[in-house]
Amino acid sequence: MRDTTLFIDKEAQLINFRAYPNPTSDRIIITTEENTSFSLLDLTGKVLKSFEVNQEKEISIAELNSGVYILKEQNFGTCLKIVKE
Lowest mean pLDDT among 2-16, 21-35, 36-50: 2-16
Predicted confidence (pLDDT) at residue 8 exceeds the cutoff of 50 = no
Nearest of 78, 67, 69, 82 to residue 37 by alpha carbon:
78
Q: Where is pLDDT greater, at 2 or 41?
A: 41
In a domain, 62, yes or no: yes
For 52-66, letters b (16+ CB in 10 Å) and e give: ebeeeeebebeeeee
The domain tally of the chain equals 1
Q: Are 50 and 84 in contact (CB under 8 A)?
A: no
Report how far residue 17's alpha carbon sits from residue 52's, in angstroms, rounded to the nearest whole number: 12
Residue 9: other Cβ atoms inside 10 A: 8
- In tens, the pLDDT along 29-78 reads 999 988 999 999 999 999 999 999 999 999 999 999 999 999 999 988 88
Q: Is residue 7 part of a domain?
A: no
What CATH code is carried by the domain that includes residue 75? 2.60.40.3080
Q: What is the residue range of 33's domain?
A: 15-84
pTM listed for this prediction? 0.81
